[in-house]
């Protein structure tokens, strides 16, 4: 009986330590050092929350940049991918359909090289970024849909270049563009 009481005390101690005190400590530090990130990197426009820099959103309109496909329809609660293997026939069919859709939607030549992130969903289904190349492939469609003149189209290309993020620590990952931030800047072009 004495061993059981000691075990329960140790269990209770570590439950409070690791389940309450440690998370509160880490949350407190995050709120002080990185408050925006700790609160979800929310973007606010006209006192209205419009999204997070960290979570992808679906943009289907011809006047906006399209996001990377999502196996979970951009729902952050069941975050995850399709888990189809490269030899799975369903994945092959999805890739073919996504490629055809991207080419048709952006009025590209059928021989155009489509970046992989526009054909495959990310592992989380919530990736907010696309490659610079994917963004540039969409510029003509957006310029046409918004009736942009040459100067406005150049502003759009400059916007893509300005918002392109470099690889982390210069070597991790690839150049990428946050689609939500890009679409917000797009609305500012007059």
What is the chain's length?
A: 190
pTM score, whole prediction: 0.81
SS3 33: helix
Percent of the chain's residues with pLDDT above 70: 100
CA distance 84 to 94: 10
CA nearest neighbour of 101 among 126, 79, 118: 118
Average pLDDT over the chain, rounded to an integer: 91
CA distance 127 to 121: 8
Give the pLDDT score at 145: 94
Q: For residue range 11-32, what is the model confidence (pLDDT) as tens digits?
A: 999 999 999 999 999 999 999 9
> Once rounded to an integer, what is the mean pLDDT over residues 88-109?
93
Give the pLDDT score at 181: 93
Q: In the chain, where are the structural domains located? A: 1-39, 56-186
Q: For residue range 132-165, what is the model confidence (pLDDT) as tens digits?
A: 999 999 999 999 999 999 999 999 999 999 999 9
Give the pLDDT score at 102: 95
Q: For residue range 60-83, what is the model confidence (pLDDT) as tens digits?
A: 899 999 999 988 888 888 888 888
When pLDDT is cut at 50, 70 and 90, the band that residue 42 belongs to is confident
Give the pLDDT score at 162: 96
Q: Is the pLDDT of residue 131 over 90?
A: yes
Give the pLDDT score at 38: 84
CA distance 124 to 127: 7
- List the beta bridge partners of residue 51: 43
Helix axis angle for 150-163 and 132-145, nearest 10°, is 150
């Amino acid at each position: 009986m004495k061993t059981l009481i000691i075990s329960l005390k140790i269990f209770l101690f570590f439950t409070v330590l690791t389940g309450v005190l440690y998370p509160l400590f880490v949350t407190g530090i995050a709120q002080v050092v990185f408050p925006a990130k700790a609160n979800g990197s929310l973007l606010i426009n006209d006192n209205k929350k419009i999204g997070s820099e960290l979570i992808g959103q679906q943009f289907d309109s011809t006047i906006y940049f399209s996001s990377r496909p999502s196996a979970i329809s951009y729902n952050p609660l069941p975050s995850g991918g399709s888990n189809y293997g490269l030899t799975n026939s369903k994945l092959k069919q999805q890739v073919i359909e996504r490629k055809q859709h991207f080419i048709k939607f952006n009025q590209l030549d059928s021989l155009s090289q489509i970046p992989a992130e526009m054909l495959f969903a990310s592992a989380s289904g919530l990736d907010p970024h696309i490659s610079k190349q994917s963004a540039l492939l969409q510029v003509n469609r957006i310029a046409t849909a918004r009736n942009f003149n040459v100067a406005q189209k150049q502003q759009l290309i400059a916007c893509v270049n300005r918002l392109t993020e470099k690889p982390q620590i210069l070597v991790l990952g690839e150049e990428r563009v946050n689609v939500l931030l890009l679409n917000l800047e797009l609305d500012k072009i007059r």
